[in-house]
Amino acid sequence: MTSARKLAGSSSLDWGREGSSRSLPGFLMLLAYTTLIFFQTDIIFLFTSANYLQGNFYLLLEFLGDTFGIAYVVGLAIAVYRRYVKRLAKLETGWKDTLVLVMLLWIGLSGFVVEALRFVFVPSQWATFSPVGDAISLVLSSTALKLDPLAFYQAFWWAHMLSVFALLAVTPYTNLVHVFTSGFNVALAPVKPMGKLNTP
């Protein structure tokens, strides 16, 4: 009970208020989605031609990917608003915080662009299950990008992936490391009634 209270009510974590924490579910879903595609295309296909990402399961993944992607970007937008528009005093903002937010936003937005360019290069009748990518693809298909969508797709894909690896590289040197360490700190903290004083 005490551990649950610490998780839910700790002011040091403040999960429910910080906008960037609201983007965490979206980030985790996108990570899972990308990991599934990686295993299918780069590992499973090395040993068998079986394709597990198809049918209703694949369409559900596409829809959830866009849905949680929106949640991810909206959560980051809230974080930007709180830090740079509302300027909450309790949120100290340095250049590292700005760098992390910019990189996270770029990763999210460039992911949607990569998806949209894929639809431009390889039109799909199921694109409506990815509403954000589909909408962006309609805009891009009417521009000069249609001259060489494959080149733009490859450029954005590499920019997107290199940004992900760059973010992982700088994580230990930024506040983003707390995403990985806070859970362990709470789990390993001594459990005792809140407000209880130590007595000899």
Q: What percent of the chain has pLDDT over 70?
A: 80
pLDDT tens digits, one per residue of 67-115: 999 989 998 998 888 888 888 777 777 888 889 899 999 999 999 999 9
pLDDT band at residue 151 using 50, 70 and 90 as cut-offs: confident
Per the model's pLDDT, the better-predicted residue between 143 and 194 turns out to be 143
Q: Both tokens of residue 46?
A: 């090395």
Helix (H) or strand (E) holding 94: none
Contact yes or no for 20/101 (Cβ under 8 A): yes
Model-level pTM greater than 0.85?
no
> What b/e readout covers 160-199, taking b as 16+ CB neighbours within 10 angstroms?
beebbeebeeebeeeebeeeeeeeeeeeeeeeeeeeeeee
Domain positions in the chain are 15-172
